[in-house]
Chains A and B, each alone.
Chain A
Amino acid sequence: MSTDTAPADTDLRPTPVRDTWHVMVRELRPVLRDPFSVTFGLVQPLVFLGLYAPLLIGGSDQPAGQVLQWFVPGVLVMIVLFGTGTVGSNLQYEMMTGSHERTLVAPLSRPALLVGRALKEIVPILAQSLIIVLVSMPFGFRPHPGGLVLGLLVLTVFGVGLGSLSYALALATKGRDWVFWAVQQSLIFPLLILSGMLLPLDAGPGWMRLVAAFNPINWVTRAERAAISGELTDPVVAWGILSAMALATVGLIVGIRGMRRSN
């Protein structure tokens, strides 16, 4: 009997870190095989940048660079909201076609199955954000280098959290992908508008500003704007970091719980 590659008993210690790495590497392979796929998620942000930003610039008495300084950080958050926020559909699809089941029968730690997927999101988020930043610079966008690094860091933490929640939603709506999309679509636009991503909330009614104050994405957006403009000591930066970390914590807990129940 050929059991030479089957592990011995001593090899059966749980190895969550190694498992997470392997899950992440697997998730990254299609991206590396086809780097162009990263640009697929850029269509929407580019449309907003190309068709919405000119409206903002035209309606404002500020110079284009100034408007972009306010708008581009919001587009970066939008990348995460629309891209990472919908990655659950990949898992939904893998549950439907069968490959998720195969990974459940592999000797992988259940948290690793979720965390590895969530961590993989860092790569497309960074790649897409950098493209948006580079595309905006000829039009007058001038990010503060240190602030941009911090901003991207916050963005990845936020992305890991939102991605985990998206996976959790997929796990909870197994076999009913229409429920996944119904929940996704009914959340995404209120979250988008109530984060001040497209238009400042300052002009909105009081109740809107009140709701937005409890929207972590609003704080992430404000932190991105402050950090990328170099206002690193602005308290909203700290609030944004805290919001992203809180979201990541909640997302991972909910996601891991969903993965443990998955069958």
Chain B
Amino acid sequence: MAEPIIEARGLTKHFTVGRRTVEAVSDLSFAVAPGELVAFLGPNGAGKSTSLRMLTTLIEPTAGDARVAGHDIRREAAAVRARIGYVGQLTSGSYAQRARDELLAQGAFHGMSPAASRRRADDLIESLDLAPFATRTVQKLSGGQKRRLDVALGLMHAPPLLFLDEPSTGLDPQSRANLWQHILDLRSEHGTTIFLTTHYLEEADRWAERVMVMDRGRVVADDTAARLKSELAGDTLTIELPSTAEADRAADVLARLVGGGGPTGEAVGRTGEASITVTRPDGSRLLPQALRTLDEAGLHAVSATGVPPTLDDVFLALTGRTLRESDHGDGAGGESGTSESGTSGSDPSEPAAATDPATEGAYR
């Protein structure tokens, strides 16, 4: 691997909430090579944003260190900032500003000349389909338009590394697909390294090349989505038989066929009175053979399905909980209530909910 563009060693962050100390991120160590597309996947409160905020110099780690784009996040914060793009969870553009003005300001902030800023701003306006709204104030943009402006702001200085915190949360499916297309285009054109967080497992599954599963402040798995699924989850076969007695016999037959226990322990499970289930890395390939074997034993299946695994199955295998349960349940990292997201309502499903339209026009 070339020299990593991100290298974290033992990054740890504690927050104090009242008298309690919450360990939001524990001993995070990993490396990302230039050009990779990496997703941090995990439920709300898993520590994804906190990790990103440490890597982007927004908050200082309690312990540990990291080099980002060749510079130390503690000692050379300014150099890191000059080399990274950051798209936060909320809106990067100020509501009172016009979209294009924010791009020009961002260029100036990064030391670009006015002429270079204008050129770059107009390029980005073009490529991110912002032209019809470029002279509107940010507060008048739709969610998808705001998000594309956020990405444009993050790309203004053509950084080699772009961080995105929950880039598609709150967008409708079409805007989400559209945003992803822009991100992927960017990557194929400029080789930009992309590091993002998401709690949409379909998103990590479909787009990311490498998925780091995070839970309760720790990375519990780090691999390609395909390998995570085949190694930690597997296809689930469900075979229905005419009767409970036949299902019992079929379970014995299949247990002999597949050998030892699957990822959930039992070799063959039951999903109902007369149906049996087997989860195996190569499950779908096993299905025809399983049906033949059952036929030879005089057991004729009524129905058979093979369902490929999702990253949710991976998460379940790793943590014993599903992502959805974790999202609504006990976010142990405690993102809400800590100062992590920096907003009062840190439910990322509604990033704009905290905004207050009352200040419209009150800018002076």
Q: Give A contacts to B, CB under 8 Å.
A: 1-7, 9, 11-12, 14-15, 18-19, 22, 25-26, 29-31, 33, 37-38, 40-41, 83, 87, 89-90, 93-99, 101-108, 124, 174-176, 263
Contacts and interface: CB of A to CB of B under 8 A. Distances in A.
Nearest to B156: A5
Given A93-B356, A263-B342, A5 B112 contact: yes
20 contacts: A1-B191, A5-B116, A6-B83, A7-B157, A9-B79, A14-B78, A22-B108, A30-B98, A30-B137, A31-B363, A40-B364, A96-B343, A99-B92, A99-B97, A99-B138, A101-B58, A102-B153, A105-B86, A106-B81, A108-B109
Given A30-B97, A98-B88, A106-B106, A6 B78 contact: no
Contacts of A87: 364
A107 B109 contact: yes
Interface string B247-288: 000000000000000000000000000000000000000000
Contact of A124 (B82, B191, B364): B364
B355 interface: yes
A93 B364 CA distance: 13
Given A101-B90, A107-B110, A263-B53, A175 B342 contact: yes
Nearest to A90: B363
A174 B354 CA distance: 13
A175 B343 CA distance: 5
A26 B88 CA distance: 20
B112 A95 contact: no
B105 interface: yes
Contact of B192 (A1, A33, A41): A1
Q: Which of B102, B351, B362 neighbours the largest number of chain A CB atoms within 10 Å of its CB?
A: B362
Interface residues of B, number: 60
Contacts of B195: none
Nearest to B107: A5
B334 to A, nearest CB: 15
Nearest to A94: B94
B242 interface: no
A163 B310 CA distance: 53
A105 B364 CA distance: 25
B183 interface: no
Nearest to B70: A9
A98 B353 CA distance: 12
Contacts of A26: 97, 101-102, 105, 108
Interface of B: 34, 53, 56-59, 78-79, 81-84, 86, 88-98, 101-102, 105-106, 108-112, 116, 120, 137-138, 153, 157-160, 189-192, 339, 342-344, 351-352, 354-356, 359, 361-364
B92 A29 contact: no
A84 to B, nearest CB: 9
A33 B136 CA distance: 11
Contacts of A263: 53, 58-59, 339, 342
Given A1-B160, A26-B97, A176-B344, A99 B361 contact: no
Given A40-B362, A96-B343, A6 B157 contact: yes
Main secondary structure of the interface of B (DSSP, over half): loop
Given A3-B158, A7-B111, A97-B355, A105 B361 contact: no
B160 A96 contact: no
B200 to A, nearest CB: 20
A38 B364 contact: yes
A37 B364 contact: yes
A154 to B, nearest CB: 20
Nearest to A112: B109
B91 A99 contact: yes
Contacts of A108: 109
Contacts of B153: 102
Contacts of B84: 105
A96 B359 CA distance: 12
Contact of A98 (B90, B116, B158): B90
A38 B363 CA distance: 8
The 5 closest A-B pairs by CB, nearest first: A98-B90, A26-B105, A99-B94, A106-B109, A102-B92
Contacts of B88: 98, 101-102, 105
A31 B96 CA distance: 10
Given A26-B105, A30-B98, 8 more contacts: A1-B191, A6-B159, A11-B111, A12-B82, A25-B105, A90-B362, A102-B153, A104-B58
Contacts of B94: 94, 97, 99
Given A105-B58, A174-B342, A40 B361 contact: yes
Contacts of B190: 1-2
Contacts of B355: 96-97
B158 A5 contact: yes
A98 B91 CA distance: 5
A42 to B, nearest CB: 10
Contacts of A95: 342
Contacts of B90: 96-98, 101
Contacts of A106: 81, 106, 109-110
Contacts of B89: 98
B97 A97 contact: no
